């Protein structure tokens, strides 16, 4: 047994760390560490900096601009992002759409879309969920009717993260309403969001932030060459994507940064004339989260070690990283909010007033992070996956 990175891996970690220190724009880092939403310009600017370094799509095949890093290096890369407060690139283009194109796309589709995704030219978003199709995704109803060399799309998507930044959207649509099994009538379609008939409406979350949207499709005309894989075989594509690498879902790096921030905050806050961190009740809760995070980091490394040995993707039990990772993220945001006590109440300045720029973000941040156990396959769905695939229940 050896729990540490090899000297070669440690050198790589130092390289990433040094590069991030020199190249991550301070204003973007400050937004991340002060819990402010990033603009589209922030996302694109950071993407282009990474692309110039050749690091925007490390997990892609080298011929398309990947780095050829093994799974351990990719994990280290992600962790260093989290530790320093570098935003991860939105996964919809570089991770999700690209994975589908690399696996199922035609040579023309790859050539048309992949370089622009790699270089941050197109901002992609995901059109999966619908008002009546959440965890039960196969219940989706958005219709795509074939008319000659086009599909005509009508329907609605919801929870479209950063949909208001989207240049392109990939959607699951129903192409055969009469299919015997619901899963058999679904197709995977790419749409230019400038196409007439697409309307994006913001859904403001309880933190006051605009992250997610509803997207409406009203007689939207999409050329058939934007179909990925076969018509009515979109479920195969969707399943491939769901089973795609989920090693990063534990968010160990960013949680370690949050834990350090929490400790610093609790050392400044006072309770009964002493630093809050010396309060036993608070300290015990903090320690339990810290220990769970220690365990999660090691569990992640055990997965990495297993994958490195077997050369296989992780099994369904990797879902535990998402479950525990999001529970830890939520616990940390809650403790941060509680650490400032009554000062968590002020939200925005009015009539020439002022609010503390950090403390006023802590409650909204806690509110916002309730999403983590709901999105990307709710934690209940993750438990279903482990129950079925790992435990055979």
Partner 1 sequence: MNFEYSDEQRQLADSVRKYLANEYDFDKRKTIVHSPSGCSDAVWSTLAEMGVTAITLPEADGGFGGGAVDLMAVMEACGEALLVEPLLDHIGLAARLVARAGSAAQRAALLPGVIDGSLKLTFAGLEPGYRYELAPQSTQARRQGAGWVLDGRKSVVIGAPWANKMIVSARTGDHSAASLFVVDARAHGIRMSPCRTVDGQRAADIKFTGVSVDADALLGPEGGALPFIDEAVDFATALLCAEAIGAMQYANDATLEYLKTRKQFGVPIASFQVLQHRMVEMFIHTEQARSMAILAASKVDTAGDAAERRRAVSAAKVKIADAARQVSQESVQLHGGMGMTEELKISHTFRRLTMIGQRFGDADHHLERYAALG
Residues in the site for partner 1, rule: CB under 8 A?
Answer: 1-6, 9, 72, 280, 283-284, 287-288, 290-292, 294-296, 298-299, 301-302, 304-306, 308-309, 317, 320, 323-324, 380, 383-384, 386-387, 390-393
The nearer residue to partner 1, 52 or 267, going by C-beta atoms, is 267
In a 13 Å sphere around the CA of 33, the CA atoms on its Cβ side amount to: 21
CB of 385 to partner 1, least distance (A): 9
- Angle between helix 7-23 and helix 40-53 axes, rounded to 10 deg: 130
Asked if 150 contacts 222 with a C-beta cutoff of 8 angstroms, the reply is yes
CB of 327 to partner 1, least distance (A): 10
CB of 337 to partner 1, least distance (A): 21
CB of 298 to partner 1, least distance (A): 4
The nearer residue to partner 1, 5 or 367, going by C-beta atoms, is 5
Q: Is 224 exposed, middle or buried (0-12, 13-18, 19+ CB in 10 A)?
A: middle
CB of 283 to partner 1, least distance (A): 5
The nearer residue to partner 1, 182 or 263, going by C-beta atoms, is 263
Q: Which of 245, 290, 297, 327 is catalytic?
A: 245
Measured between alpha carbons, how far is 341 from 257 in angstroms, rounded to an integer?
21
Per the listing, tokens 């809650």 go with 334
3-state SS of 224-261 is: HHHEECCCCEHHHHHHHHHCCCCHHHHCHHHHHHHHHH
334 is catalytic: no
Give the tokens for residue 18.
């040094």
Per the listing, tokens 């809050």 go with 276
The nearer residue to partner 1, 206 or 387, going by C-beta atoms, is 387
The nearer residue to partner 1, 200 or 242, going by C-beta atoms, is 242
Tell me phi and psi for residue 274, to 5 degrees. -130, 160
Asked if 177 contacts 143 with a C-beta cutoff of 8 angstroms, the reply is yes
Provide the annotated active-site residues: 245
């Amino acid at each position: 047994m050896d729990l540490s990175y090899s000297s070669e891996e440690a050198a790589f970690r130092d390289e990433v760390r040094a590069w991030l220190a020199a190249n991550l724009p301070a204003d973007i880092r400050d937004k991340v560490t002060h819990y402010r939403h990033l603009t589209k310009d922030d996302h694109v600017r950071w993407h282009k900096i990474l692309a110039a370094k050749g690091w925007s799509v490390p997990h892609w095949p080298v011929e398309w601009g990947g780095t050829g890093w093994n799974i351990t290096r990719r994990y280290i890369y992600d962790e260093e992002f989290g530790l320093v407060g570098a935003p991860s690139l939105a996964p919809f283009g570089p991770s999700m759409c690209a994975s589908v194109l690399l696996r199922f796309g035609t040579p023309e589709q790859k050539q048309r879309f992949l370089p622009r995704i790699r270089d941050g030219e197109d901002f992609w978003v995901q059109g999966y969920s619908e008002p009546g199709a959440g965890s039960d995704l196969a219940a989706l109803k958005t219709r795509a009717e074939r008319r000659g060399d086009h599909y005509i799309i009508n329907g609605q998507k919801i929870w479209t993260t950063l949909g208001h930044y989207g240049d392109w959207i990939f959607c699951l649509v129903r192409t055969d309403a009469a299919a015997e099994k619901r899963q058999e009538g679904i197709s995977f379609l790419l749409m230019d969001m400038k196409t007439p008939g697409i309307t994006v409406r913001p859904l403001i979350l309880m933190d006051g932030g605009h992250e997610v949207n509803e997207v409406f499709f009203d007689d939207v005309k999409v050329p058939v060459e934007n179909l990925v894989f076969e018509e009515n075989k979109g479920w195969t594509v969707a399943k491939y994507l769901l089973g795609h690498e989920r090693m990063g879902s534990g968010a160990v790096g960013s949680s370690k940064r949050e834990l350090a921030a929490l400790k610093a905050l609790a050392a400044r806050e006072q309770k009964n004339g002493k630093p809050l961190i010396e309060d036993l009740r608070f300290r015990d809760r903090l320690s339990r989260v810290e220990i769970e995070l220690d365990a999660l980091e090691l569990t992640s490394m055990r997965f990495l070690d297993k994958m490195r040995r077997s050369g296989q993707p992780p099994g369904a039990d990797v879902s535990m990283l998402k479950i525990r990772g999001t529970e830890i993220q939520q616990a940390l945001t809650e403790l941060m909010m509680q650490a400032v006590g009554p000062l968590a109440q002020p939200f925005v300045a009015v009539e020439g007033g002022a609010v503390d720029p950090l403390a006023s973000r802590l409650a909204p941040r806690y509110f916002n992070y309730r999403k983590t156990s709901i999105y990307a396959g709710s934690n209940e769905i993750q438990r279903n996956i482990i129950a079925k695939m790992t435990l055979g229940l």
